[in-house]
């Protein structure tokens, strides 16, 4: 058996057996095949797809490529939530303390941002001292004692997934549904969660571009979960427009803390409450939307979720003074307004343009080892349905690089589509799949 024969077999649209998939994942993890060979096989998977058995084996092989966490001694039900990402998506940061405050343990592996999608780890590291690289032993202890922990993948958890994630983006396979499904599920298998909810973001600000594709991915993940004896549900959310009002690390952490203190943007709140309701439905084994929604809203109202967030930050060595006073977060050297050039109503705010500008001013990365500027970002003041007058501020650019302000300002203005027609609203919750 060798990698070239496996590539040729998939190119010929044949089904790979379990041994061939395990061989590929093992050699990839050990660095014994080239990135070109990995990219070639991923490209043929992109064009020919995977059978259900190939998909199950690939997810298991990636999960088994490194360490695995056994949380069975912590609780009967361990929850994990994963988003396919988007612009301004800080749902994980709010939802995890909400669920933990309701007494349900959450063990979460998160990632860094890549492209226009922001990363949970990068955002958490806006809090000085916050350690996303704690040991597996400390992770388990924290889930048991605090109720939640958020860590990165440097603990050798599913290292094959990390390699595949990087290369699938490099060879334009980032929207391959079988590869996405296997990658996502491998992370969940590695953390020991048995109740898993996926937020499949759909639209201009993510790599799943339409509702039909999002539903296909959701159904694929649910079938894969059943094969792997995991309870899986998916919600599909709109990502044509940035979520909330802030894009960028310090800005999003500030918005997170404000949301946990009762100042929750409506679109962000819809996603948090819906995801939380689906999680409670899975954990309790019955659908009771109204009761579960009220429970979530109550821990947000009474401050329990905010206090749980503080516990998580303290347990992972973060500086609590920043959580208690968001004015301590560093500001960008230049904070520049973007003005409307005509009267009307905001018809849309293009998440792809906003995300691309965020990268340009330093708030995102296009290469794995790029540093991000935690001070950089965009604050949006006007969103879909809001009235606007000529000269009124649409948004603010936050940047340390004066040379990029002019171009960023001109391009960000183009993200706002202003109309004189009546704007039709739709829920940003597009579908829920069990």
Query: DSSP assignment of 30-58, as one string?
Result: HT-S-HHHHHHHHHHHHHH---HHHHHHH
Q: Is the pLDDT of residue 248 over 90?
A: yes
In a domain, 74, yes or no: no
Residue 36, CA atoms < 13 Å, CB-side half-sphere = 1
The answer to whether residue 13 sits within a structural domain is yes
Q: Are residues 319 and 181 in the same domain?
A: yes
Crossing angle for the helix pair 304-315 and 91-101, to the nearest 10 degrees: 110
What pTM, to 2 d.p., does this model score? 0.90
- Do residues 265 and 355 both lie within one domain? no
344-398 residue pLDDT tens: 999 999 999 999 999 999 998 877 677 889 999 999 999 999 999 999 999 999 9
Q: What is the CATH number of the domain that holds 407?
A: 3.90.1170.30
DSSP state of 67: B
Is residue 430 situated within a structural domain?
no
DSSP of 75-91, one letter per residue?
-S--EEEEE---TT--H
Residue 13, pLDDT score: 96
Query: Tell me: the pLDDT tens digits for 323-339?
Result: 999 999 999 999 999 99
Please give the Cα distance from 261 to 205 (Å, whole number).
Answer: 27
Tell me if 102 is assigned to some domain. Answer: yes
CA distance 275 to 283: 12
Whether 137 and 9 map to the same domain: the answer is no
Looking at the structure, tell me whether residues 338 and 230 fall in a common domain: no
395, 335 Cβ separation under 8 angstroms: no
CATH code where residue 244 lies = 3.40.1030.10
Q: For residues 103-114, give the mean pLDDT.
A: 84
DSSP code for 395 = E
Between CA 42 and CA 281 the distance in angstroms is 36
Please tell me whether residue 255 adopts helix, strand or coil conformation.
helix
CA distances from 157 to 42, 100, 160, 163, 281 (A): 21, 23, 9, 12, 28
What range defines the domain where residue 17 resides? 3-49
Half-sphere exposure of 320 toward its Cβ, with a 13 Å CA cutoff?
A: 11
Residues 265 and 366 in one domain: no
191-208 pLDDT per residue, tens: 888 899 999 999 998 888
Same domain, 312 and 349: no
Give the full edge-to-edge strand order of the sheet including 377-380: 246-247, 377-380, 393-399, 334-339
129 with 215, same domain? yes
Say how far apart CA 72 and CA 305 lie, in whole Å.
24
In the structure, what pLDDT confidence band is assigned to residue 153 with cuts at 50, 70 and 90?
A: low
Give the number of domains in the chain: 3
One domain, residues 360 and 320: no
Q: Which residue, 324, 354, 374, sits at the end of a domain?
A: 324
Beta bridge partners of 148: 106
- By the 8 A CB rule, do 252 and 88 touch? yes
Q: Let me know whether 164 and 221 are in one domain.
A: yes
Question: Comparing 72-81, 181-190, 231-240, 293-302, which segment has the lowest mean pLDDT?
Answer: 72-81
pLDDT at 207: 83
Question: Do residue 32 and residue 94 come from a single domain?
Answer: no
3-state secondary structure of 93: helix
Both 128 and 276 in one domain: the answer is yes
- Give the pLDDT band (50/70/90) at residue 43: very high
Of 396, 425, 398, nearest to 413 by C-alpha is 396
Residues 338 and 396 in one domain: yes
Residue 43 located in a structural domain: yes
Q: At 116, is the pLDDT very low, low, confident or very high (cuts 50, 70, 90)?
A: low
DSSP class of 187: H
Q: Which among 324, 356, 381 is the end of a domain?
A: 324
Residue 433 domain-assigned (yes or no): no
Confirm whether 62 is domain-assigned: no
For residue 175, give every residue at least 6 positions away whose Cβ sits within 8 Å of its Cβ, in sequence order, or none.
207, 208, 209, 213
Residue 281 in any domain: the answer is yes
């Amino acid at each position: 058996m060798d990698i070239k024969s496996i590539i040729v077999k998939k190119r010929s649209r044949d089904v790979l057996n379990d041994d061939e998939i395990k061989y590929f994942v093992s050699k990839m993890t050990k660095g014994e095949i080239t990135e070109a060979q990995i990219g070639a096989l991923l490209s043929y998977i992109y064009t020919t797809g995977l059978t259900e058995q190939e998909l199950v084996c690939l997810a298991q092989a990636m999960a088994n490529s490194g360490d695995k966490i056994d949380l069975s001694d912590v609780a009967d039900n361990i929850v994990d939530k994963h988003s396919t990402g988007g612009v301004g998506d800080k749902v994980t940061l709010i939802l995890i303390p909400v669920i933990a405050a309701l007494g349900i343990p959450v063990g979460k592996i998160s990632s860094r941002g890549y492209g226009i999608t922001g990363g949970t780890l990068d955002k958490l590291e806006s809090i000085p001292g916050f350690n996303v690289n704690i040991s597996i032993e400390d992770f388990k202890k924290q889930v048991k004692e605090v109720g939640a922990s958020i860590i990165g993948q440097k603990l050798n958890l599913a290292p094959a997934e990390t390699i595949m994630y990087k290369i699938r983006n490099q060879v334009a396979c980032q929207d391959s549904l079988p590869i996405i499904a296997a990658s996502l599920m491998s992370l969940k298998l590695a953390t020991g969660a048995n109740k898993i909810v996926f937020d499949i973001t759909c639209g201009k600000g993510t790599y799943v571009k339409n509702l039909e594709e999002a539903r296909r991915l959701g159904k694929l993940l649910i079938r894969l979960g059943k094969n792997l004896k995991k309870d899986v549900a998916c919600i599909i959310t709109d990502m044509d427009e940035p979520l909330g009002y802030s894009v960028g690390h310090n800005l999003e952490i500030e918005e997170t803390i404000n949301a946990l203190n009762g100042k929750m943007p409506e679109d962000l709140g819809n996603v948090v409450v819906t995801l939380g309701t689906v999680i409670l439905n899975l954990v309790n084994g019955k659908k009771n939307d109204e009761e579960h929604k009220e429970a979530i809203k109550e821990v947000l109202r009474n401050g329990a979720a905010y206090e749980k967030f503080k516990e998580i930050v303290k347990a992972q060595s973060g500086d609590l003074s920043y959580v208690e006073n968001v004015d301590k977060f560093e500001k960008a050297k230049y904070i520049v307004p973007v003005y409307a050039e005509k009267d009307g109503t905001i018809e849309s705010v293009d998440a792809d343009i906003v995300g691309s500008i965020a990268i340009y001013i330093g708030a995102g990365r296009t290469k794995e080892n790029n540093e991000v500027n935690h001070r950089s970002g965009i604050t949006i003041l006007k969103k879909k349905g809001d009235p606007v007058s000529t000269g009124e501020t649409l948004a603010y650019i936050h940047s340390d690089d004066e040379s990029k302000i002019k171009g960023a300002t001109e391009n960000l203005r183009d993200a706002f589509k202003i109309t004189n027609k009546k704007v039709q609203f739709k829920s940003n919750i597009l579908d829920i799949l069990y």
